[in-house]
Chain A
Amino acid sequence: MSITRHRLFWPVVALLALLLASVLKSHTFLDIEVRDGHLFGGPIDVIRRTSVLLLVALGMTLVIATRGIDLSVGAVMAIAGAVALTQIASSPDPGSVATVAAAMGTALLICLVIGVWNGFLIAVVGIQPIIATLVLMTAGRGIAMLITGGQITTVTSAPYKSLASGYTLGLPNAALIAGFFFLVTALVTRRTALGVLIEAVGINPSASRLAGVRARTIIWTVYILCALFACIAGFIKSADTMAADANNAGLFIELDAILAVVIGGTSLAGGKFSLAGTLVGALVITTLTLAITILGIPANAVSLFKALVVIVVCLLQSPKVRNSSWGRRRPAVAPVPASVEVSA
């Protein structure tokens, strides 16, 4: 247990430091108040804004645990928003729950196909994950543009809008949706063998296959899950603005999601993954963005601070990562190259 605590120590410190900085600047930042029966305040705002990133990062964690990566999530978000909003806009009754449900069903189905496609390229054809998903990252936005006809589709639909801005039991719907999927994923991976199987595939695909793990099915599953989570994130994102912006919806979210996963202590080399770490990582990134606005730093400089946080967290984690992976991935050979390098 002490190792788990240690793994998340620095990310949590970073999160607390960001919150502290925000509170020092704006003293009411951490206050929560009840307004119109809903909860309002800084922390609520943070978790509401984290929901999209958390959903994407959740799928990304599972993919990264199998030693993969999914660059197409941003494009998938754009496609999900484009499909759902275009179908709602073209229906006779955009305000009815049935229309919204049908539109979301169509989008989920299309994203399922995308996930199957990514999984097929990686698990069956055997293409490297980074390049297999790069195909859809490039083409996906083009497809989303094709669906919206190059326009930014805007619709008015109360049930769809409530996905992002509605409240249930005083909490924002977006956060509840993300939280629900987070808990389900955590339960399914940690209370069944799925989590262990995913880690086994990530640590050594061929060994796990020889041990009887259906590596191909597992890999396929995680890419499908990743696409579906990205699809739901796409719903929330497009419901937030009620506009399907094929160019900008989910732009660069794949990078933020990968960052969240890495800050959370999951190695890009696959294997052990930490969903709690991903949650902390996503919170760090959202809080950072929010804190920068509160501190009065120009919003454009946010990427500079993101870079600093990434570099610091990665540097702090790097010796630990090396130690923990020492016996597993780099056996006795490890000391040899070190001495060769010195002499060379």
Chain B
Amino acid sequence: MATDQLTSRTVSDSSTTATRRRFRIDDRYIPVLGTVIVLIAMLAIGGHLYENFLTGRVMANVLINNGFLVVLAVGMTFVILTGGIDLSVGAVLALSTCVSAWMFTHGWSAAFTIPVAVLVGTLIGLAVGLMVHVFEIQPFIATLAAMFLARGLCYIVAPESIPIADPVIVSLSTTRWPVYGTFVLTPSGVISLAVVVIAFVTLHYTRFGRTVYAIGGSEQSARLMGLPVARTKVLVYVISGTCAGIGGLLFAVFSRSGYSLTGVGMELDAIAAVVIGGTLLTGGSGFVLGSVLGVVVLGLIQTIITFQGTLSSWWTKIFIGALLLVFVVLQRLLAIRRR
């Protein structure tokens, strides 16, 4: 599948003159296109029903409230592209938040705490990667163990909620940069966008990124092609762990406290966002930007239900489930058509 993608990309680049090609959309883009259509439909419906919906403030809030989820979904995309799964991200996010809160209350400076909080995620990701690769434990079980481990460590670091009063974190959480009208960007938003950009460049313009796609397409073929499968497989979990660490930091900025029960079930939101963003769970096909769109779709569902007011919060879950179903069936139909 990897070579297939490479050739189709060169074809679509050089085929701007070929008119026949122009009307045919590459199969890889159809799921993402579906996400875009859903997104536009939601914006249209929301804007039609509620007059204050299509304002910069609402859109900025969607980004502010889901910045950490964007980062988690980006990390998850790498893992899912190789055909794996990472169930530990929610717990690792909580651990990173708790560790930073604990360090701040014990007098460490932000310059030291922030790298350590991110490094916690990196280390757990490394441990998972080694478990998956060296001991051939299935990703599902290895990351499940990591999830339990991180959650248990959370309780040890922060048995109760720890408030964060560090000036750096406080200023990060209160800063607002006006962009256009009422649309504002926060430092957290900028960090999550930076993560997205780095991930995008890594996936599409580096050898490592192509190896990730190749492993997802067929691990055996990637091995036989001499690609560094072992290193890449460990690295995707390191990336996912690091992203969870960054996510934890963003969550610390967002909530200004460390609590051991934060992010319960967040791994499922991240997986849902990746799937809604058009990434195949079997690996090998999908885009980071799709995952970002997936997070925005999830955020908009929540916003619309808040705007609606009479719908209870559990409808969010039902809508997300239904949307997941639609996208999975769509992907399945595409896979059948491709055959």
- Using a CB–CB distance below 8 Å, which chain A residues touch chain B? 69, 121, 125-128, 130-132, 134-143, 145-146, 150, 246, 255, 258-259, 262, 268-269, 298, 300-308, 310-311, 314-315, 318, 321-322, 333, 336-337, 340-341, 344
Q: Known: A139-B321, A142-B315, A262-B141. Contact between A337 and B229, CB under 8 A?
A: yes
Is A321 in contact with B220, judged by CB distance below 8 angstroms? Answer: no
Is B224 in contact with A336, judged by CB distance below 8 angstroms? Answer: yes
- Using a CB–CB distance below 8 Å, which chain B residues touch chain A? 85, 87, 131, 135-138, 140-142, 144-149, 151-153, 155-156, 159, 220, 223-224, 226-231, 260, 268, 271-272, 275, 281-282, 312, 314-318, 320-322, 324-325, 328-329, 332, 336
Is B328 in contact with A301, judged by CB distance below 8 angstroms? Answer: no
Q: Which residues of A are found within 8 Å of B138, using beta-carbon distances?
A: 268-269
12 CB contacts below 8 A, A to B, read A135-B328, A136-B321, A138-B268, A138-B324, A139-B322, A301-B156, A303-B151, A303-B152, A314-B141, A337-B224, A337-B229, A340-B226
Which listed residue, A128, A307, A318, touches B148 by the CB 8 Å rule? A307
Q: Known: A127-B329, A344-B228. Contact between A304 and B281, CB under 8 A?
A: no
Is B268 in contact with A304, judged by CB distance below 8 angstroms? Answer: no
* Bound CA–CA A136/B328 (angstroms): 13
Is B146 in contact with A307, judged by CB distance below 8 angstroms? Answer: yes
Is B135 in contact with A314, judged by CB distance below 8 angstroms? Answer: yes
Q: Which residues of A are found within 8 Å of B224, using beta-carbon distances?
A: 336-337, 340
Q: Closest 9 interchain pairs by CB? A: A304-B152, A139-B321, A142-B317, A145-B314, A307-B149, A307-B148, A300-B155, A142-B318, A138-B321
Is B332 in contact with A139, judged by CB distance below 8 angstroms? Answer: no
Is B155 in contact with A304, judged by CB distance below 8 angstroms? Answer: yes
Q: How far is the CB of A147 from chain B (nearest CB, A)?
A: 10
Is B148 in contact with A258, judged by CB distance below 8 angstroms? Answer: no
Is B317 in contact with A344, judged by CB distance below 8 angstroms? Answer: no
Q: How far is the CB of B315 from chain A (nearest CB, A)?
A: 7
Is A145 in contact with B312, judged by CB distance below 8 angstroms? Answer: yes
Q: Known: A131-B275, A306-B148, A311-B131. Contact between A300 and B321, CB under 8 A?
A: no
Is B152 in contact with A306, judged by CB distance below 8 angstroms? Answer: yes
* Bound CA–CA A237/B142 (angstroms): 28
Q: How far is the CB of A205 from chain B (nearest CB, A)?
A: 15
Q: Which residues of A are found within 8 Å of B231, using beta-carbon distances?
A: 344
* Bound CA–CA A127/B281 (angstroms): 10
* Bound CA–CA A132/B314 (angstroms): 20
Q: Known: A311-B145, A322-B136. Contact between A301 and B324, CB under 8 A?
A: no
Q: Which residues of A are found within 8 Å of B155, using beta-carbon distances?
A: 298, 300-301, 303-304
* Bound CA–CA A127/B148 (angstroms): 28
Is A304 in contact with B153, judged by CB distance below 8 angstroms? Answer: yes
Q: Which residues of B are found within 8 Å of A262, using beta-carbon distances?
A: 141
Is A127 in contact with B312, judged by CB distance below 8 angstroms? Answer: no
Q: Known: A131-B281, A336-B223. Contact between A141 and B141, CB under 8 A?
A: no
* Bound CA–CA A31/B223 (angstroms): 57
* Bound CA–CA A48/B39 (angstroms): 49
Q: Known: A142-B314, A300-B260, A340-B226. Contact between A314 and B271, CB under 8 A?
A: no
Q: How far is the CB of A336 from chain B (nearest CB, A)?
A: 7
Which listed residue, A127, A246, A307, A322, touches B145 by the CB 8 Å rule? A307
Q: Which residue of B lies closest to A305 (CB)?
A: B152
Most buried by A among B144, B320, B336: B144
Q: Known: A259-B144, A262-B141, A310-B145. Contact between A146 and B314, CB under 8 A?
A: yes
Q: How far is the CB of A333 from chain B (nearest CB, A)?
A: 7
Q: Known: A150-B312, A340-B224. Contact between A318 and B136, CB under 8 A?
A: yes
Q: Known: A298-B155, A304-B152, A315-B135. Contact between A132 and B281, CB under 8 A?
A: no
Q: Known: A135-B325, A301-B152, A301-B156. Contact between A143 and B220, CB under 8 A?
A: no
Q: Which residues of A are found within 8 Å of B137, using beta-carbon distances?
A: 314-315, 318
Q: Which residue of A lies closest to B153 (CB)?
A: A304
Q: How far is the CB of A298 from chain B (nearest CB, A)?
A: 7
* Bound CA–CA A97/B87 (angstroms): 43
Q: Which residues of B are found within 8 Å of A322, using beta-carbon distances?
A: 136
Q: Which residues of A are found within 8 Å of B325, using beta-carbon distances?
A: 135
Q: Which residue of A lies closest to B144 (CB)?
A: A255
Is B328 in contact with A131, judged by CB distance below 8 angstroms? Answer: yes
* Bound CA–CA A259/B147 (angstroms): 13
* Bound CA–CA A145/B318 (angstroms): 10
Q: Which residues of A are found within 8 Å of B281, using beta-carbon distances?
A: 128, 130-131
Q: Which residues of B are found within 8 Å of A303, using beta-carbon distances?
A: 148-149, 151-152, 155
* Bound CA–CA A134/B321 (angstroms): 8
* Bound CA–CA A300/B138 (angstroms): 26
Q: Known: A333-B220, A340-B226, A344-B231. Contact between A125 and B329, CB under 8 A?
A: yes
Is B268 in contact with A134, judged by CB distance below 8 angstroms? Answer: yes
Which listed residue, A141, A258, A341, touches B140 by the CB 8 Å rule? A258
Q: Which residues of B are found within 8 Å of A125, using beta-carbon distances?
A: 329, 332
Q: Which residues of B are found within 8 Å of A135, using beta-carbon distances?
A: 321, 324-325, 328
Is A131 in contact with B324, judged by CB distance below 8 angstroms? Answer: yes
Q: Which residues of B are found within 8 Å of A318, using beta-carbon distances?
A: 135-137
Is B328 in contact with A337, judged by CB distance below 8 angstroms? Answer: no
Most buried by B among A135, A143, A259, A262: A135
Q: How far is the CB of A6 from chain B (nearest CB, A)?
A: 18
Q: Known: A298-B159, A337-B229. Contact between A142 and B328, CB under 8 A?
A: no
* Bound CA–CA A336/B114 (angstroms): 43
Is A258 in contact with B144, judged by CB distance below 8 angstroms? Answer: yes
* Bound CA–CA A284/B297 (angstroms): 41
Q: Which residue of B lies closest to A128 (CB)?
A: B281
